[in-house]
A and B are shown apart, each in its own frame.
Chain A
Amino acid sequence: GNSVTQMEGPVTLSEEAFLTINCTYTATGYPSLFWYVQYPGEGLQLLLKATKADDKGSNKGFEATYRKETTSFHLEKGSVQVSDSAVYFCALNTEYGNKLVFGAGTILRVKS
């Protein structure tokens, strides 16, 4: 079946540190991959996506590359800010787009 595994948190970083949140997946076929972010008190928001192998999604300084050979979609940012503190969810979409499968989420805390 389809599943997503992401690194456990919380991840605590100082401002301007480098961020990596690992995500690996198991899927039949060729899913699209996503990172969603949930800021405190808000709903989930799409952060970035990649729809095929070797695609790189990017937004707000965050990047992730769809690696089919390692079934991974790790999230990276070169320099985090306090405002990046949130819960980050890796997810995949089934081929017909009717069902997002989420990882458990990773809490990121950035200290000033």
Chain B
Amino acid sequence: GAGVSQSPRYKVAKRGQDVALRCDPISGHVSLFWYQQALGQGPEFLTYFQNEAQLDKSGLPSDRFFAERPEGSVSTLKIQRTQQEDSAVYLCASSSRRDRLNEKLFFGSGTQLSVL
């Protein structure tokens, strides 16, 4: 596709429910990032993949958060037993193989998660 695609665009979950958020990066992009953006705040780093390898997951807030990218393209962010504090916009970004220092990230429009 032309850009980074995320689905669903909106997700409403009951507290305790599991959710899965999908990211389709730009074709051929090697690096993939997940960010969490709370209302009125800047995005905060969650995790980073290079191809299928998860090189940094230091930003995942708890062991309820899990991300995978098994074939080095599409990625899924899973949140188990959702809590109200998980309500945020989840952003996915990717960068080109030629951009070794990830200096130009391409962001999706995000998934807005609301936990009731």
Tell me what chain B mostly uses at the interface: helix, strand, loop, or mixed: loop
Instruction: Tell me the nearest residue of chain B to A41, going by C-beta.
Output: B109
Chain B's interface size range is 20 to 34
Instruction: Tell me the nearest residue of chain A to B108, going by C-beta.
Output: A43
B110 touches A100 (CB 8 A): no
Q: Assess A32 versus B42: contact at CB under 8 Å? Given A43-B4, A98-B55, A99-B56.
A: no
A100 touches B105 (CB 8 A): yes
Instruction: Tell me the nearest residue of chain A to B6, going by C-beta.
Output: A43
Q: How far is the CA of A42 from the CA of B44 in the complex (A)?
A: 18
Stretch in B14-22, B65-73, B80-88, B96-104 with 4+ CB within 8 Å of A: B96-104
Contacts of B90 in A (CB 8 A): none
A66: interface (CB < 8 Å): no
B45 touches A99 (CB 8 A): yes
Chain A residues with a Cβ closer than 8 Å to the other chain, count: 25
Contacts of B103 in A (CB 8 A): 32, 34, 49, 51, 93, 97
B101 touches A44 (CB 8 A): no
Instruction: Tell me the nearest residue of chain A to B104, going by C-beta.
Output: A46
Q: How far is the CA of A99 from the CA of B100 in the complex (A)?
A: 13
Q: Assess A105 versus B42: contact at CB under 8 Å? Given A43-B108, A93-B101, A98-B48.
A: yes
Contacts of A49 in B (CB 8 A): 103-104
| Shortest distance between the CB of B22 and any CB in chain A (Å) | 15
B108 touches A102 (CB 8 A): no
Contacts of B35 in A (CB 8 A): 100
Q: How far is the CA of A91 from the CA of B102 in the complex (A)?
A: 13
B40: interface (CB < 8 Å): yes
Instruction: Tell me the nearest residue of chain B to A99, going by C-beta.
Output: B45
Q: How far is the CA of A96 from the CA of B102 in the complex (A)?
A: 9
Q: A residues within 8 Å of B by Cβ?
A: 4, 32, 34, 36, 41-46, 49, 51, 89, 91, 93, 96-105
Q: B residues within 8 Å of A by Cβ?
A: 3-4, 33, 35, 40-45, 48, 55-56, 59, 91, 93, 100-110
- Ranked nearest first, the 6 interchain pairs of A and B with the lowest CB-CB distance are A102-B42, A97-B101, A43-B107, A44-B107, A97-B102, A43-B109
